Amino acid sequence: MKTNELIRACTLTVVLVILCVLSLELYWRGRGFVPTFNDDKVLWSTKRKEVYLPATDATVFIGGSRIKFDLDVPTWERLTGERAIQLAIVGTPARLILRDLANDKDFKGKLIIDVAEPQFFSFPDSTQRDRFALDALGYYYDETPAQRASASINYFLESKLVFLEEGKFSITSLLNKLNITNRLGVNPPPYSFTPVEFGVSNFNRQQWMTPMFLADPTLQKKQKDFWMRGIKRASPIKGDTLHAFLEQTKKAIDKIRARGGKVVFIRPPSDGPYIEMENRVYPRQKYWDYLLEYTSTPGIHYADYPGTANLICAEWSHLTLQDAATYTTQLVKILREEKNWTFPRKSAETAQFLNP
């Protein structure tokens, strides 16, 4: 092939690629999406590096998806003057992350642990159940300088382009969401039943349900149907396994407290068949209350406070962005007034806001 033909081929390639990328971007924007961040191990690792901030400057959150939706980071930061370091991982028990922070001698800060019973009470470690946490921790400890540089470029691009969110718009994610029947006994790919409109994430790893999801009962039903699969399969740990789990949790918390850190458990709201299952399979006295007693750790259960008891979860498990702000406000108030947490950077201002 002649050189001028190669140049022509290259030029047309550039034009076709640009056209395709533009079409893709416009398509997803046309469906109501805005640029958000891929909530993956790279972003988690970026946040994990922030846990060494002094206790007066930050609070770390671990757990599953509920705290990711229910904690409104801007509200938290406005009321406390501190950073909210979101290390919770969707669909993942807090166990491994708690152990990692406990074993990190340089972590001496404040820690809030989200308890959604079916996820939280899990033992022992499992390469399947803990895979996202294992991935995230593995990446954090093995991250190379080149990966750090790539992450920075990636964050810039993700902040500008909608279609770059791998978890939603990559070939794999889209193929996995095709409605193809599986053979009996085969588990579908992870999150294949979750609508792309369900949750999006920002750079602070806060998640929220999109307006498209909240406006569409069909999408909500799809998500509820997905939850029902987990609700039907719930199988609690009991007896020796439960004790082994509690013992391990206590040891981890004691390590953090021994270094001057503070730990609080929180139980965010849930609704409908979810709360029915959680109350039935994980009776409060045998799990939540026992957890607080065994680990000698304070806890905040949403049902104990009028300001949070009546919050409604749109799809039984997570709060809307608006309710997340309400929940976060109440959380700061309870921590400050009842659990003796101080937020020196915004103490007076917060007190005035919470008790006008």
Partner 1 sequence: MIFNSYTFIAFFILILIVHNLPFSWKTKKINLLLASYIFYAAWNPPFIILLWISTLIDYFVGKQLYFEENKAKRKLLLAASLIGNLGMLGYFKYGGFVLENFVNLAAMIGVDFHPAQPNIILPVGISFYTFQTLSYTLDMYRKSSPPEKSLLDFSLFVTFLPQLVAGPIVRPGQLIPQFKEPHSANTQQLMQGLFLLSLGLFMKSVLADTLLASSADAVFAAPMPLSAVDAWLGVLAFSGQIFFDFGGYSTCAIGIALCLGFTLPDNFRYPYAAIGFSDFWRRWHITLSTWLRDYLYIPLGGNRKGEARTYLNLMITMLLGGLWHGAAWTFVVWGALHGTYLCVEKLIRERFVSTPKPPEPLAETPVVVQASIAPTVFRGNSFNNFILAMFTFFLVNVTWVFFRATDFSTAWRLLTSMFGQTDKGAALLPTIDMIKVTTVVTLMVIAHWLMRNTSVLVVAQKMKWWLISIVWSLMIIGLIVSQKSGDSFIYFQF
Structure tokens belonging to residue 238:
């009991």
Q: Does the footprint of partner 1 cover residue 178 (CB under 8 A)?
A: yes
Q: Determine the Cα–Cα distance for residues 108 and 255; give it in Å rounded to an integer.
A: 10
Q: Any residues with CB less than 8 A from the CB of 202 and at least 6 apart, and which?
A: 36, 37, 73
Nearer to partner 1, 167 or 268 (CB): 167
Binding flags for partner 1, 124-143, as an x/- string (CB under 8 A): ---x----------------
Q: Does the footprint of partner 1 cover residue 181 (CB under 8 A)?
A: yes
Q: Determine the Cα–Cα distance for residues 351 and 332; give it in Å rounded to an integer.
A: 10
Min dist CB 92 to partner 1, Å, is: 18
Q: Determine the Cα–Cα distance for residues 147 and 151; give it in Å rounded to an integer.
A: 6
Q: Any residues with CB less than 8 A from the CB of 337 and at least 6 apart, and which?
A: 354
Q: Which of residues 275-314 bind partner 1 (CB under 8 A)?
A: none
CB of 209 closer than 8 Å to CB of 321: yes
Q: Determine the Cα–Cα distance for residues 56 and 342; give it in Å rounded to an integer.
A: 8
Min dist CB 236 to partner 1, Å, is: 23
Min dist CB 20 to partner 1, Å, is: 5
Burial of 43 (0-12, 13-18, 19+ CB in 10 A): buried
Q: Does the footprint of partner 1 cover residue 254 (CB under 8 A)?
A: no
Q: Does the footprint of partner 1 cover residue 30 (CB under 8 A)?
A: no
CB of 107 closer than 8 Å to CB of 256: yes
Nearer to partner 1, 3 or 355 (CB): 3
Q: Does the footprint of partner 1 cover residue 180 (CB under 8 A)?
A: yes
Q: Given the rule CB under 8 A, which of 160-168, 227-235, 312-320, 336-344 is the region that contacts partner 1?
A: 160-168
Which amino acid makes up residue 73?
V
Nearer to partner 1, 6 or 309 (CB): 6
Helix (H, G, I), strand (E, B) or coil at 86: strand
Min dist CB 4 to partner 1, Å, is: 9
CB of 204 closer than 8 Å to CB of 73: yes
Taking CA atoms, 294 is separated from 55, 122, 153, 335, in Å, by 25, 16, 46, 20
69, 163, 213, 343: which one contacts partner 1 (CB under 8 A)?
A: 163
Q: Does the footprint of partner 1 cover residue 171 (CB under 8 A)?
A: yes
Nearer to partner 1, 178 or 348 (CB): 178
Q: Given the rule CB under 8 A, which of 74-82, 92-100, 166-174, 310-318 is the region that contacts partner 1?
A: 166-174
148-156 long-range contacts (CB < 8 A, ≥24 apart) are: 151/42, 151/43, 151/45, 151/46, 154/42, 155/37, 155/46, 155/203
81, 91, 188, 283: which one contacts partner 1 (CB under 8 A)?
A: 188
CB of 190 closer than 8 Å to CB of 129: no
189, 230, 272, 273: which one contacts partner 1 (CB under 8 A)?
A: 189
Q: Does the footprint of partner 1 cover residue 20 (CB under 8 A)?
A: yes
Q: Determine the Cα–Cα distance for residues 84 and 345; give it in Å rounded to an integer.
A: 14
Nearer to partner 1, 16 or 312 (CB): 16
Q: Does the footprint of partner 1 cover residue 182 (CB under 8 A)?
A: yes
149, 215, 244, 309: which one contacts partner 1 (CB under 8 A)?
A: 149
Min dist CB 12 to partner 1, Å, is: 4
Nearer to partner 1, 43 or 51 (CB): 43
Binding residues for partner 1, rule: CB under 8 A, are 1, 3, 5-10, 12-13, 16-17, 20-21, 24, 42, 127, 144-147, 149-150, 153-154, 157, 163-164, 166, 169-172, 175-176, 178, 180-189, 192
